[in-house]
Amino acid sequence: MMSLPIDSVLPSIQNALADKHELILEAPPGAGKTTAVPLALLNQPWLGAQKVLMLEPRRLAARNAAQRLAHNLGEPLGQTIGLRTRTDTKVSQTTRIEVMTEGVLVRMLQNDPSLDGYGLVIFDEFHERNLDSDLGLTLLLEARELLRDEAPLKVLLMSATLDRLDLEKLLPDAAQVRSEGRAFPVEVHYSAPWSNSQQLPERVSEAIQQALANETGSLLVFLPGVAEIRKVQTALAGKLDTCCLVTPLYGDLSIEQQQEAIQPAPKGHRKVVLTTAIAETSLTIDGVRVVIDAGLSRTAIYDPRTGMSRLHTQRVSKAASIQRAGRAGRTEPGCCYRLWSAEQQDQLAPQAPIEIEHADLSALTLQLHQWGCHDPSDLQWLTPPPKARLEQAEELLTKLNALAQDSSGAKRLTPCGEKMAKLPLHPRLAHMLVVAETLQLAPEAALLASLFSERDPCFGQGSELAKRLHWLRQHRSHPTAKRIIQQAKRLCRTADAQDNISDNALAQLVAAAWPDRIARGDGAGQFQLANGRQATLPATDPLSRSTWLVVCDLGGRADQARDTIWVAQVLDHQLLNSELAHLTRTETTTEWDEQKSRVAAFEHVVIDKLVLARRPIAMTPDLHAQALCQHIRRQGVDVLPWCEKSRALRQRVQFVARQATDWPDWSDAGLLASLDSWLMPFLGSTSRLSSLNMAQILLSALSWPQQQALTEKAPERLTVPSGSSLRVDYNTHPPVLAVKLQEMFGCTETPRINGTALTLHLLSPAGRPLQVTQDLTTFWQNGYPEVRKEMRGRYPKHPWPEDPVTAIATAKTKRHLNN
């Protein structure tokens, strides 16, 4: 067997796992960790007769790794080396190493948290940080802590890089081993700056032809998705020599097609492998020494505004671009053509986002509840799932009848949710299967679930769901159809699906998965969905004139108001009154009529945000009050008939509330938030808002002790040294007291209310401002002499003593004082 760079550290790996229960192995692509490490650990004394689990991020990587391991042992797959994926299982009683996708581990832990019989779990390519790998590691660590004290389960994390893997905090006792890779030099060629994705097929086609003319060996071409792979295949048609084989490589291909791309080119031939990001790190493709990188990747990012995951095409990260280029130097010196400029390379993000931070978390949330965890913060996470995303996931699971509140208000799994959690499907499709049992449509639901789990075989050929089912019947030997049918049989072994399922049955099934995507159309291709979104169908689509649909698949951009419907099923409106009536609810709403200045009440039958029926109902005092509150919330509190007295009362309470927590918030926002408690009781008996006595209403919202305290802590008026009782203005903070300067003679300190020094507006005898101060003592000393000098000539009839501190405060003239 050919030596590998990893061979030099295998003894260190063996020794580390003999002494420790966790090991972090950093080994770059090409080091041989996937094929060498599991076999090197198979006969270790600490493992004994226990088995090894090795996790791969993708089905293709898992299958390829398992086959290479079995090949290295000279055995067929299924003996010492086994394979477990969602669609394929090959294990036997002699299997010692099971290679599987990361999602399979989560289900194994749910069935047996102790993982009895297994001694080591290997997370391969852990730097990819898939959602399933993060969840699997979290559940594994808790299960090991609770159930594996006597025979601890060992964990090995293998990563091409430890960048942003803060593993020391999660696994502080873990040993670390680093292996050098075997990377040959790769010459990188940059292109002119590029940003127009519509030019992609032509640019990639030109780069391929240039590389074939200038370089030797096979080519690995990175493209963002399957659509681009097909376009490049079309662009290359008739332009390459017959010795050049163009082979696509992506996850939905058959095993035979994938192996054709991975295997070396036949003698005398060269290969052009058109691939997605699937080939970045976890696969070795023999004979490749040239990489062409379009610099784009496609990621499913959950859009919290719409509740849907959308595919975003974006620039690759700098780390991914380095990984891709490295594929050209696996076996000999190579070259990489990057279809962007060197300046753009410097602008790339260092790393791609971690999936748990942007993904749909409904499946993760369902698994956590199945695990018995109702608060994810109780678990150990490398990256905790975002709280807002978890809340949205729980909202969807509640709509799907997977979760319900118990007597304590906590969300718990329902019997339906328990069944859903055991199915290897997205919660939407799992709910469809559970509902199908009661409808005696389990085989049909299994076929639909398998169909929706694969790439749409009729994409771009119309939106009718029935067309997809017809395609399956007509192309049973097609690799995609065979895979869908086999998966359906694994999900439901009772019987084959009917060849001609009725439209009503289809509508019931898909509505169980997408109740929030029931849609009403306008007859011209425009549809309103129950979730509040709008969607369209082209006029040429047969379903564009439908009145009611259930939308199974749609897409669009997050910055657009309308989505495009890709797959849908016609819905008979009568089902909403019968078999699907459980999806509807009745709610009473009120509306304000601006022209008539009155409210009206209506009863609506709705599905989520979609109104199915509406009828007027009699107005009751409660509904009247609710309607007025809604009107005030829309218009703001300024629509209420405020007067000087009510405004002053609000300001006084706000002043006190600054210093005490047990007082109400009477700001605009605070009043709007508490309308139901302080205002609604007065609205049922009034016909017009203008008739409300706002001061009396506000005063009644205060308790008697608060009313008494308000007089003390925020008095309406304050007596000044002259004996005058003056109003305090609480509109600003600190409050303002406007007083004629002569009325403050003899006062040496600034007046205070509830400990707060007032802002004094000292006025002339004519009531004009002379000075604004919060420090009366300093004013008498420094400011008053200048004011006296200027004012005594202007107002000679009023007193302007040299020493205001010893003078008598007065509001009168000197003549009145002498009398």
Question: Kind of pairing, strands 518-521 and 403-405?
Answer: unpaired
Q: How confident is the model at residue 253 (pLDDT cuts 50, 70, 90)?
A: confident
Q: Write phi, then psi, for 455 (nearest 5 degrees).
A: -65, 140
- Which of 375, 394, 421 is the C-terminal boundary of a domain? 421
Specify the pLDDT at position 800: 93
CB 36 within 8 A of CB 9: no
Asked whether residue 164 carries a pLDDT value surpassing 60, the answer given is no
Alpha-carbon separation of residue 227 from 230, 402, 604 (angstroms): 5, 35, 44
What is the Cα–Cα distance from 144 to 142, expressed in whole angstroms? Answer: 5
Amino acid found at 478? H
CA 580-582-586 angle, 5° bins:
115
Same domain, 344 and 399: no
Tokens representing 566 are 């890709």
Give the pLDDT mean for 117-127.
93
Same domain, 609 and 498: no
The 10s digit of each residue's pLDDT in 84-110 is: 988 788 999 999 999 999 989 999 999
DSSP state of 374: S
CB neighbours of residue 131 within 10 Å = 21
Query: Is the model more confident about 561 or about 649?
Result: 649
Give the burial class of 644: count Cβ atoms within 10 A of its Cβ; 0-12 exposed, 13-18 middle, 19 or more buried. exposed
Asked whether residue 816 carries a pLDDT value surpassing 80, the answer given is no
Tokens representing 126 are 């852990």
The 10s digit of each residue's pLDDT in 774-791 is: 999 999 999 999 999 999
Give the pLDDT mean for 645-651.
94
Specify the pLDDT at position 140: 95
DSSP state of 464: B
What is the Cα–Cα distance from 383 to 118, expressed in whole angstroms? Answer: 26
Give the pLDDT mean for 299-304.
74
Asked whether residue 1 carries a pLDDT value surpassing 60, the answer given is no
Q: b/e map of 744-755 (b: 16 or more CB within 10 Å)? A: bbebeebbebee
Same domain, 197 and 345: yes
Q: Which of 205, 207, 208 is nearest to 192 (CA)?
A: 207
Asked whether residue 182 carries a pLDDT value surpassing 80, the answer given is no
Specify the pLDDT at position 222: 94
Same domain, 410 and 437: no
Specify the pLDDT at position 653: 94
Same domain, 512 and 647: no
Specify the pLDDT at position 2: 63
User: What CATH number has the domain bearing residue 385?
Assistant: 1.10.10
Same domain, 23 and 117: yes
Please say whether the dihedral angle defined by the alpha carbons of residues 581, 583, 585 and 591, taken in this order, is positive or negative.
negative
Please say whether the dihedral angle defined by the alpha carbons of residues 238, 241, 245 and 250, taken in this order, is positive or negative.
negative
Same domain, 172 and 62: yes
CB neighbours of residue 94 within 10 Å = 11
Same domain, 154 and 167: yes
What is the Cα–Cα distance from 626 to 623, expressed in whole angstroms? Answer: 5
The 10s digit of each residue's pLDDT in 452-465 is: 988 888 888 999 99
What is the Cα–Cα distance from 753 to 661, expressed in whole angstroms? Answer: 18
What is the Cα–Cα distance from 324 to 334, expressed in whole angstroms? Answer: 12
Give the pLDDT mean for 400-418.
91
CB 193 within 8 A of CB 341: yes
Same domain, 246 and 321: yes
DSSP state of 783: I
User: What CATH number has the domain bearing residue 267?
Assistant: 3.40.50.300
718, β-bridge pairs:
726
CB neighbours of residue 334 within 10 Å = 24
CB 291 within 8 A of CB 219: yes
> Cβ neighbours of residue 773 under 8 Å, at least 6 residues apart?
750, 759, 760, 762, 779, 783
Amino acid found at 762? L
Q: Which of 168, 163, 161, 223 is nearest to 197 (CA)?
A: 223
What is the Cα–Cα distance from 198 to 627, expressed in whole angstroms? Answer: 52
Mean pLDDT of the chain: 89
Range of the domain at 532: 427-581
Give the pLDDT mean for 608-622.
86
Alpha-carbon separation of residue 116 from 138, 144, 151, 386, 471 (angstroms): 18, 11, 10, 32, 44
- Which of 152, 178, 204 is the C-terminal boundary of a domain? 178
Specify the pLDDT at position 761: 95
Q: Which of 353, 388, 312, 304 is nearest to 129 (CA)?
A: 353
CB 292 within 8 A of CB 223: no
Percentage of the chain lying above the pLDDT 90 cut: 61
Judged by average pLDDT, the poorest of 24-28, 558-562, 730-734 is 558-562
CA 294 to chain centre: 27
The 10s digit of each residue's pLDDT in 581-600 is: 999 999 888 776 666 666 77
The 10s digit of each residue's pLDDT in 312-322 is: 788 999 988 98
CA 509 to chain centre: 27
Give the pLDDT mean for 440-445.
93
Tokens representing 330 are 């696996």
CA 510 to chain centre: 24
Asked whether residue 683 carries a pLDDT value surpassing 60, the answer given is yes
Which run of H or E residues covers position 770?
strand 769-773
- Which of 133, 148, 178 is the C-terminal boundary of a domain? 178
CB 765 within 8 A of CB 795: yes
Specify the pLDDT at position 624: 81
Domain count, the chain: 6
Same domain, 208 and 332: yes
Q: Which of 294, 296, 273 is nearest to 284 (CA)?
A: 273
What does 656-709 look like in DSSP terms, one character per residue?
HHTT-TTS---SHHHHHHTHHHHTGGGTTT-S-GGG--HHHHHHHTS-HHHHHH
Measure the CA dihedral 620/624/625/626, to 10°. 100
Asked whether residue 246 carries a pLDDT value surpassing 60, the answer given is yes
What is the Cα–Cα distance from 173 to 165, expressed in whole angstroms? Answer: 15
What does 484-531 look like in DSSP terms, one character per residue?
HHHHHHHH--S-PPPSS--HHHHHHHHHHH-GGGEEEE-SSSEEEETT
What is the Cα–Cα distance from 496 to 245, expressed in whole angstroms? Answer: 39
The 10s digit of each residue's pLDDT in 361-384 is: 999 999 999 999 989 999 999 999
Same domain, 48 and 174: yes
Percentage of the chain lying above the pLDDT 70 cut: 96
**Cα maximum dimension of the chain:** 127
Q: How confident is the model at residue 626 (pLDDT cuts 50, 70, 90)?
A: confident
Asked whether residue 558 carries a pLDDT value surpassing 60, the answer given is no
Q: Tokens 């017809």 identify what position?
A: 470
Specify the pLDDT at position 770: 93
Same domain, 94 and 134: yes
Whole-prediction pTM? 0.77
Specify the pLDDT at position 807: 92
CB neighbours of residue 613 within 10 Å = 12
Q: Which of 358, 277, 357, 273 is nearest to 317 (CA)?
A: 277
CA 33 to chain centre: 34
What is the Cα–Cα distance from 819 to 814, expressed in whole angstroms? Answer: 9
Amino acid found at 448? L
